[in-house]
Amino acid sequence: MSWVRHAVTSPIGAKVIMAITGLMLSGFLVGHVAGNLLIYAGPEAINQYAEGLRKFPALLWGARVGLLVAFIAHLSFAAYLTLGNRAARPQPYVFNNTVQATWASRHMALTGLVMLAFIVFHLLHFTWRATDPEIASMGEFEVYRMAIHAFRKPSIAASYLIAMVAIGLHLSHGISSMFQTLGLNHPRYNRLVRTAGPAIGVGIAGLFASIPLSIYLGLVN
């Protein structure tokens, strides 16, 4: 299986794995934000949705394991590519010619680490309910009440909003890069690829961010 090892350890192979796992993680985010938007339809809609997700444990656990594998692979290959690039060029370029490179593209590691910290906190906060005794005392499917309670606190609303900015930036470059790696790499599509990434990335992050913001502002209560 040396071709497998070669495919995985070559920079192109690593980029393809980053793109495929990035696509899987983005797919999760699209599903997650679509489910979360049910909050605007009222407590019953979102609570029933949370309950519905638990009705098919095999499907839920299959998706969770797939997500975790994609997540670990995405992080590992990101580290491999980042550290590999640094080792190949320990001195920075004399002319740092990054006219084309956006802020988002040059700070993928930073925004990725902010996302990582956010995910750890988010799981402790909403999935394991370990950060707030009042959330821990709520019913298993009382997602609506949990969100209202959480996002009325300025510190929680602000931390989620900061994380959503990092997610928007990360997805903006990540999605464009994924399109290119997976084959949309022709000058004719350059403009499309360069605008689709930020449009989709900011769109997803903006929809997520609307929830803490509208609850904090009292528009949803």
Span 109-148, contacts to ligand HEM by CB under 6 A: 115, 119, 122-123, 126-127, 143, 147
Nearest by Cα to 12 from 113, 89, 80: 80
- If the CB atoms of residues 37 and 184 are measured against ligand HEM, the closer one turns out to be 37
- If the CB atoms of residues 50 and 165 are measured against ligand HEM, the closer one turns out to be 50
Residue 64, interface with ligand HEM (CB under 6 A)?
yes
Residue 107, interface with ligand HEM (CB under 6 A)?
no
Nearest by Cα to 114 from 174, 169, 157, 172: 169
Residue 50, interface with ligand HEM (CB under 6 A)?
yes
Rule CB under 6 A: choose which of 5, 10, 30, 32 binds ligand HEM.
32
Binding mask 176-215 for ligand HEM (x = CB under 6 A): --------------------------------x--xx---
Q: Which amino acid, residue 153? A: K
Give the DSSP per-residue string, 55-104.
T-HHHHHHHHHHHHHHHHHHHHHHHHHHHHHHHH--SPPSS---SS--HH
Query: CA–CA separation, 65 vs 70, rounded Å?
Result: 9
Residue 159, interface with ligand HEM (CB under 6 A)?
no
Nearest by Cα to 104 from 14, 29, 202, 212: 202
Count of Cβ atoms closer than 10 Å to residue 221 Cβ: 8
**How far from each other are the two terminal CA atoms of the chain, in whole angstroms?**
57
- If the CB atoms of residues 101 and 116 are measured against ligand HEM, the closer one turns out to be 116
| Number of chain residues interacting with ligand HEM (CB under 6 A) | 18
Residues near ligand HEM, by CB under 6 A: 29, 32, 36, 50, 64, 115, 119, 122-123, 126-127, 143, 147, 160, 167, 208, 211-212
